Amino acid sequence: MSAETIVDICMLLCATVGFSYGVVTFLAKKTPLYAKMITGAVACTMLGRLSAVVRSFTGFGVERDFRLSLLSYVGVFLFLLTANAGIMDGLADDGSKGLAKYRLMALGAPACIALIDVATLLSGDGVTGKVSFLVVSAFAALASYFNLKHYLIPDAEFGVIDSVRRYNLCAVVYAILLMAELCSLAYGAGPATVVFGLLLAADTLFILPMLKRGITQWQI
């Protein structure tokens, strides 16, 4: 069994547990749309890894260059981006000059992903694989910018931003670990793939419980 398949199985198990938790905790109850969108992101992770595992165990093997599972990662980051940029950013950032340093510091997450991009582009992976990686990384960079900004920025008034800091940190770590995993795959570095993949699986398992812990503190 390849390192990639091992990671896909672990990710599938953790994402399935996480999504099931999200269904019971958020989707089946009256909870904020924000929480439901993050649950959707975990669902995309689950479906993407399910696709990869099914291919491995039905004899189709691991997809090279363009992989269908990459589309699921775009879905993940679209959910994360929409939740933070569309719902929470108005509460977190009023556009004032006093918060400019936090906007600048938040560029650290996209910068980290850009460094991983450079490493991937220098790999021996095919052109299609590199282009697919760059598409995913663009969405990851955008989503992680807002996640990191909401982790760093001081809470203005309502206590909402403070309550979800731990979730936002988990989301930033998710983006960076996923890009690192994909980069290691481009180099065929099995041990690195397993390390990044297992860390990513653990992060996926805890991201919704961290969100739940924060939402219970909301005072709005």
In total, how many domains does the chain have?
1
pTM of the predicted structure, to 2 decimals = 0.92
Q: Within a domain: residue 11?
A: yes
DSSP for 162-210, written as a single string? HHTHHHHHHHHHHHHHHHHHHHHHHHT-HHHHHHHHHHHHHHHHHHHHH
Phi-psi region of 196 (alpha: psi -120 to 50; beta: other; left: phi over 0): alpha
| Separation CA 114–CA 112 (nearest Å) | 5
Q: Within a domain: residue 90?
A: yes
Q: Within a domain: residue 112?
A: yes
Q: Within a domain: residue 151?
A: yes
Q: Within a domain: residue 18?
A: yes
pLDDT tier for residue 146 given thresholds of 50, 70 and 90? very high
Residue 185 sits in which domain range?
3-215
Q: Which residue has the higher pLDDT, 209 or 29?
A: 209
CATH label of the domain that carries residue 66: 1.20.1070.10
Q: Which residue has the higher pLDDT, 125 or 109?
A: 109
Q: Please check the confidence at residue 198 and state whether its pLDDT lies above 70.
A: yes
Q: Within a domain: residue 220?
A: no
pLDDT at 220: 46
Q: Which residue has the higher pLDDT, 74 or 69?
A: 74
Q: Within a domain: residue 145?
A: yes
Q: Within a domain: residue 194?
A: yes
Tokens of 211: 């969100």
